[in-house]
């Protein structure tokens, strides 16, 4: 039975021609677990489409709105307008939560007002609007939501200095916190001039000078903001072994345009987010349908076909490839079991877009990797991930969301926070399992 969407349509200022398409916007994947006979699929494909359209419309709007803005400023504003919290706020303005179709467990755990769920629903609505109403009508709806949000962001930023803006950008896009160091001083004692460098991760991103350290730090942050897009267009991936660069270029090209969400996981994902380690293979994660499509797109590199496989602590659809000589695993519907917990891995849903070559790669967040490796009892990897997140900052809300969605036991959740507080988690039996 299709609910009464009239209030929503009134708010949007339009009437959907295909009500079943509108209903699909609100079908959360958890609902299908309890209703396997549902004729409607989940909203994930619509979410994929809506994410692309939303990003394009917002980027064009900012480009036209701010001809005086640098690439760095435009990138920062776009991130502020399409981040999870902003999209969840748009969803609340439209009261989308009331229409969600959820499992009983998801409902009981607060899923109807969970920011990540609302944000994805908002993206799915944009996708459905585009299919049903076309780009012009979709753009009008998006801009009605985005315009007041942009005014609010701009007003807040009037009170922000360059250091604050750089920190917001670095933490939002890279989960790294800028570090400032004096690199040289000059002049007599009564007219000393300081030159300060600012590092993000291991890279010097800007320098600035001034009569005080504070002034020099602001100048360095301003320099970094001006250079930001150029810096990160080639930053992360250039340190990879050449074979891995070639393999990822092939994967990026072959998977471009696939109507599924996927992510790069494992050691390569960690490397691309700042960890210093030697990558040894490439993991490509999705759900079962996504894994099949990835395996088909990369069929010429197949070594072992995609099939369901179970080992102690791990089960998934798994296909093995060799791309440019690099071992690649295509993994679908990954399940990890350990420490009294079963993790139904959906790490492709909470990815970070890392610049690579002329585009980006979706990579599994370090927060998700920390949780997965803790479940697997991989102490050394947990320690490295936790140390990196302690130093560079982490998304507490994302971790809380992941642990709530996966029903992580309280004692294991406590170990997550202990590891991030610098305390050693309790020993656990290690298992030889693929990385996430």
Indicate which CATH number applies to the domain containing 182.
Answer: 3.30.160.20
| Residue 153 vs residues 51, 55, 66, 330: alpha-carbon distances, Å | 20, 17, 14, 40
Residues 215 and 252 occupy one common structural domain: no
Whole-angstrom distance, CA of residue 366 vs CA of residue 349: 13
Whole-angstrom distance, CA of residue 240 vs CA of residue 356: 11
Whole-angstrom distance, CA of residue 306 vs CA of residue 319: 4
Residues 308 and 217 occupy one common structural domain: no
What DSSP string runs through 51-113? HHHHHHHHHHHHHHH-TT--HHHHHHHHHHHHSHHHHHHHHHHTTGGGG-B--HHHHHTTGGG
Whole-angstrom distance, CA of residue 290 vs CA of residue 265: 15
367 is catalytic: no
pLDDT per residue as tens digits for the range 71-126:
767 887 888 888 888 899 999 999 999 999 998 888 887 889 888 899 999 999 99
> Which of the following is catalytic: 123, 281, 283, 367?
123
Residues 220 and 349 occupy one common structural domain: no
Q: Tell me what pLDDT residue 231 has.
A: 61
The total number of structural domains in the chain stands at: 3
> Which of the following is catalytic: 47, 51, 283, 287?
51
Cβ distance 343 to 372 under 8 Å? yes
Length of the chain: 436
* Residue 1 located in a structural domain: no
Residues 221 and 253 occupy one common structural domain: no
Cβ distance 130 to 21 under 8 Å? no
Q: Tell me what pLDDT residue 430 has.
A: 39
Answering whether pTM is above 0.95, one says: no
123 is catalytic: yes
Whole-angstrom distance, CA of residue 173 vs CA of residue 76: 9
Whole-angstrom distance, CA of residue 334 vs CA of residue 166: 36
Residues 138 and 246 occupy one common structural domain: no
Q: Tell me what pLDDT residue 105 has.
A: 82
Residues 335 and 370 occupy one common structural domain: yes
Domain, as residue range, for 111: 6-157
Q: At what angle do helices 115-133 and 135-157 cross, to 10 degrees?
A: 140
Whole-angstrom distance, CA of residue 393 vs CA of residue 176: 6
pLDDT < 50: residue spans in the chain: 159, 233, 423-433
pLDDT per residue as tens digits for the range 131-167:
999 999 999 999 999 999 988 887 766 546 788 888 8
Residues 247 and 375 occupy one common structural domain: yes
Which of residues 101, 123, 157 is at a domain's end?
A: 157
Largest CA distance in the chain: 80
Q: Which residues of 44-76 are buried (b: 16+ CB within 10 A; e: fewer)?
A: bbbbbbbbebbbebbbebbeeeeeeeeebbbbb
Residues 179 and 150 occupy one common structural domain: no
């Amino acid at each position: 039975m299709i609910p009464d969407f009239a209030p929503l349509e009134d708010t949007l200022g339009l009437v959907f021609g295909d009500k079943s398409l509108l209903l699909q916007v609100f079908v959360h994947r958890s609902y299908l677990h309890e209703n396997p006979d549902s004729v409607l699929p989940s909203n994930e494909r619509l979410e994929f489409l809506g994410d692309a359209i939303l990003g394009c419309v917002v980027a064009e709007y900012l480009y036209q709105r701010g001809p005086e803005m640098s690439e760095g400023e435009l990138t920062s504003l776009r991130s502020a307008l399409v981040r999870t919290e902003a999209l969840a706020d748009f969803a609340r303005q439209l009261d989308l939560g009331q229409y969600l179709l959820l499992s009983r467990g998801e409902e009981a755990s607060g899923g109807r007002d969970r920011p990540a769920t609302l944000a994805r629903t908002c993206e799915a609505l944009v996708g459905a609007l585009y299919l049903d109403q076309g780009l012009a009508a979709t753009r009008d709806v998006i801009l009605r939501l985005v315009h007041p949000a942009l005014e609010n962001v701009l007003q807040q930023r009037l009170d922000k200095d360059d250091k604050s803006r750089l920190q917001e950008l670095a933490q939002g896009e890279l989960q790294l916190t800028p570090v400032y160091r004096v690199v040289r001083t000059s002049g007599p004692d009564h007219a000393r001039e300081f030159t300060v460098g600012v590092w993000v991760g291991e890279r010097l991103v800007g320098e600035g000078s001034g009569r005080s350290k504070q002034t020099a730090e602001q100048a360095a942050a301003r320099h970094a903001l001006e250079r930001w897009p150029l810096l990160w267009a080639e930053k992360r991936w250039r340190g990879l072994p050449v074979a891995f660069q070639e393999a990822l270029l092939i994967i990026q090209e072959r998977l471009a345009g696939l109507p599924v969400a996927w992510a790069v996981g494992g050691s390569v994902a960690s490397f691309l987010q700042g960890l210093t380690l030697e990558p040894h293979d490439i993991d490509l994660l999705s759900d079962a349908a996504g894994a099949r499509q990835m395996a088909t797109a990369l069929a010429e590199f197949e070594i072992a076909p995609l099939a369901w496989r179970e080992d102690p602590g791990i089960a998934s659809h798994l296909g093995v490839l060799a791309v440019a000589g690099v071992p690649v695993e295509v993994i679908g519907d990954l399940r990890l079991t350990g420490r009294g917990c079963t993790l139904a891995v959906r790490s492709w849903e909470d990815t970070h877009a890392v610049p690579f070559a002329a585009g980006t790669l979706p990579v599994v967040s370090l927060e998700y990797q920390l949780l997965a490796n803790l479940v697997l009892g991989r102490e050394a990897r947990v320690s490295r991930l936790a140390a990196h997140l302690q130093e560079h900052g982490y998304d507490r809300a994302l971790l809380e969301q992941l642990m709530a969605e996966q029903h992580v036991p309280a004692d294991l959740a406590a170990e997550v926070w202990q590891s991030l507080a610098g305390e050693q988690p309790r020993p656990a039996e290690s298992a030889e399992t693929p990385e996430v």
